[in-house]
């Protein structure tokens, strides 16, 4: 399985050809795509900032239909703390939400993140980044 990051899902919502091509490639590989609950929150944050909230929410719900939702649990919270401490010790500053997305994915035995934001995710130990 692969975990889809916010940037990838935004590009799908905007019907960007490179994101659509990547999704098609993932489906051909039989990689069941998933999304961390934090990513869902980021998408809805964008929807509520938009001029047409209901339309944006409908788009989000349409894209999320076939995706496995990864919830935050005790193991994900512990992984988040471990990753954040490791990154701090290495002097790496990354958005906490990205670290949380990675931690949730890793706690569910997923280490591949599909994103346009490779520069931050590549700094997280144990994460394999697929960009497009």
| Domain regions of the chain by residue span | 2-130
Structure confidence at residue 20 (pLDDT): 94
Burial class for 55, CB neighbours closer than 10 Å (0-12, 13-18, 19+): exposed
pLDDT at 9 over 90: yes
CATH code for residues 2-130: 3.40.50.1010
Which pLDDT tens digit goes with each residue over 72-106?
A: 999 999 999 999 999 999 999 999 999 999 999 99
Question: What percent of the chain is modeled with pLDDT above 90?
Answer: 86
Exposed, middle or buried: residue 38 (CB in 10 Å: 0-12, 13-18, 19+)? buried
| pTM as predicted | 0.92
Tokens of 113: 């993140």
């Amino acid at each position: 399985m692969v975990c889809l990051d916010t940037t990838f899902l935004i590009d799908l919502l905007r019907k960007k050809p490179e994101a659509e091509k990547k999704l098609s490639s993932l489906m051909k590989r039989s990689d069941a795509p998933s999304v961390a609950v934090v990513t869902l929150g980021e998408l809805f944050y964008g929807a509520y900032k938009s001029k047409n909230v209901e339309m944006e929410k409908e788009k989000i719900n349409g894209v999320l239909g076939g995706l496995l939702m990864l919830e935050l649990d005790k193991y994900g919270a512990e992984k988040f703390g471990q990753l954040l401490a490791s990154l701090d010790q290495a002097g790496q500053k990354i958005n906490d939400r990205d670290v949380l997305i990675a931690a949730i994915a890793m706690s569910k035995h997923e280490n591949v993140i599909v994103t346009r934001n490779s520069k931050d995710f590549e700094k997280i130990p144990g994460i394999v980044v697929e960009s497009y």
